[in-house]
Amino acid sequence: MHSSDIEPGLVVILFPGLAGPLRRKIRDRLESYGGEVTAVEGTGRFYLEVHGEVAAIRSLVVESWPGVEKVISLGEEFLHTAADPDRGPEGVEVGSVRLGAGSFTIIAGPCAVEEEQRALRIASSVAAAGADLFRGGAYKPRTSPYAFQGLGDAALQILQRVREETGLGIVTEILDPRDVEKIAEVADMLQVGSRNMHNYSLLKELGQTSIPILLKRGFASTIDEFLMAAEYILSGGNSSVVLCERGVRCATATDEVVLDLGSIPELKKRTHLPVLVDPSHGSGASYRVPALARAAATVGADGILVEVHDQPEEALSDGAQALTVDQFGELVPQVHEIRAMFEGHISGVSDDLVSTPGGEDR
Ligand code: PEP
Ligand code: MN
């Protein structure tokens, strides 16, 4: 059964000893919103099981109704992201690459497309080193409005050339829902960056398309919020969503970001979507990127998104975290080797899912 077939429902727990007329009133009220209500009598207390049209009821604060102690949501709120034990990993197709169907995908490129020859140079280097897709920003969401904002439309033409010359599929970030069409002409996958993970109009717009979306985790977002953002796209009809963990904010003395690698097994357990890791934004410093990329391969990510520059010291954005082409070349075989070492365990993720703590296999 696919998760979207699960009938959603609620259990409304009433206060012990609640008088009959008040119970009736709560029941009538739930029914007036379309709920099909069954009263269940427990030990000295009543529960109302609600099925049928529960969407409207979910948006009410039923817990604040007089006589209601607690509301438990049954079924699946994460209708489209939920893992389905009956379904193998289908993955998401981006150009000629399939992400999340068993292989380890490497997306690489500069933070921003800066100039045509440089973009072509970096692209052919990362292609030769084993990158599967090229990523470069045309429109950059910078913290400062005075910082380099990307070349915009001019970068799209450069990306088009990169695709023609290297054959690599193109990933680039979208900031504005009005740009979908023009970016989709040159890109094989659209990135929704960390800052836009909560931009619900953008997510809804992308849900109306069939373009693969790389959805990055908001840097202050919970896993539930991350998955709900994916629900916005998937529920609109676009089934091609890839998640990307890119670290969360943590203002310690030396760090601003902490790469939440624990989210990978969590997301793999809860969803059927491919999950990538971005060790570049997840560390902010190039010397930490290889270690975190290797860790990503260990914890079961379906790939990595790495920033690479031919001269990081000259980069117009995120130079401090960019790997050189040589460093990237060294990293690629390492992550594949690690991935191969853990292969059995990683493809066995669904087996881990069905085993319970204390079960016979432990
Ligand atoms: C980026 O990918 O260049 C970027 C800005 O990342 P994030 O949205 O994760 O900060
Ligand atoms: Mn960047």
pLDDT value at residue 303: 98
Give the residue ranges of DSSP H helices in the chain.
Answer: 20-32, 55-58, 116-129, 153-166, 180-184, 200-207, 223-235, 263-270, 289-298, 325-341, 343-347, 349-354
Query: Which protein residue has the closest C-alpha to ligand 1 atom 3?
Result: 111
Looking at the chain, the domain(s) classified CATH 3.20.20.70 span: 92-355
Whether the CB of 193 sits within 6 Å of ligand 1? yes
Given a contact cutoff of 8 angstroms between Cβ atoms, the answer to whether 108 and 327 are in contact is no
Helix, strand or coil for residue 84?
A: coil
Whether the CB of 279 sits within 6 Å of ligand 1? no
Given a contact cutoff of 8 angstroms between Cβ atoms, the answer to whether 302 and 133 are in contact is no
pLDDT value at residue 7: 57
pLDDT value at residue 362: 34
For residue 278, the ligand 1 atom closest to its alpha carbon is: 9
Whether the CB of 281 sits within 6 Å of ligand 1? yes
> What's the 280 CA to ligand 1 centre distance in angstroms?
9
- Do you know the residue count of the chain? 362
Per-residue pLDDT tens listing for the chain (362 residues): 343 444 558 999 999 989 899 999 999 999 999 999 999 987 778 899 999 888 889 889 999 999 999 998 876 678 899 988 777 788 999 999 999 999 999 999 999 999 999 999 999 999 999 999 999 999 999 999 999 999 999 999 999 999 999 999 999 999 999 999 999 999 999 999 999 999 999 999 999 999 999 999 999 999 999 999 999 999 999 999 999 999 999 877 777 899 999 999 999 999 999 999 999 999 999 999 999 999 999 999 999 999 999 999 999 999 999 999 999 999 999 999 999 998 777 644 444 433 444 433 43
> Among 197, 216, 321, which is best to mutate for testing ligand 1, by the most ligand atoms less than 8 A from CB?
216
For residue 141, the ligand 1 atom closest to its alpha carbon is: 5
Looking at the chain, the domain(s) classified CATH 3.30.70.1140 span: 3-73
Name the residue type at position 300.
Answer: G
How far apart (Å, rounded) are the C-alpha atoms in residues 312 and 289?
A: 14
CATH H-level, domain 92-355: superfamily: Aldolase class I (3.20.20.70)
Vertex 303: Cα angle to 320 and 241 (nearest 5): 105
Give the residue ranges of DSSP H helices in 78-152.
Answer: 116-129
> What's the 324 CA to ligand 1 centre distance in angstroms?
18
Report whether CATH 3.30.70.1140 matches the domain 3-73: yes
